[in-house]
Amino acid sequence: MIDLRAGDALGEHSVRERATIQVVSGSIAISCNGETVEAGAGTLLTFPPGQRHSLRAAEDARILLLLAPWPADTHYAAGEAAHPERMPGNASSPPLA
């Protein structure tokens, strides 16, 4: 979950995973491929890996961001070690006692 104040922005960027964004409350403006659209509560957006986009909170907003698969095979640069506290994408949580 990411809380944004009106006017907050995530500048143009891309990620190596598929990005899925759900607007939980408020509204945001999403820019991609030269177009900008307003997205209100309940809107679900997806971006394929590598697609450049940006967003700005048109008003106070809460968004849910999912990146999958996490981490993507290409998430870490060559020679860069994964963080040991993060589970690999094919891991499962131990059963609760």
Q: pLDDT tens digit string along 24-75?
A: 999 999 999 999 999 999 999 999 998 999 999 999 999 999 988 777 777 6
> Domain for residue 53, yes or no?
yes
Q: What is the pTM of this model?
A: 0.72
How many structural domains does the chain have?
Answer: 1
- Residue 14: what pLDDT? 87
Which amino acid is residue 5, in one-letter code? R
> Domain for residue 95, yes or no?
no
**What's the DSSP call for residue 45?**
E
> Domain for residue 94, yes or no?
no
Note down the domain range covering 32: 2-68
**What is the spatial distance between Cα 29 and Cα 69, in angstroms, rounded to a whole number?**
25
From start to end of the chain, where are the E strands?
Answer: 2-4, 9-13, 18-25, 27-32, 35-40, 44-47, 53-57, 61-68
> Residue 28 burial by CB count (10 A; 0-12/13-18/19+): exposed, middle or buried?
buried
> Domain for residue 96, yes or no?
no
The CATH number given to whatever domain includes residue 16 is 2.60.120.10
- Report the candidate in 72, 69, 92 with the shortest Cα–Cα distance to residue 82: 72
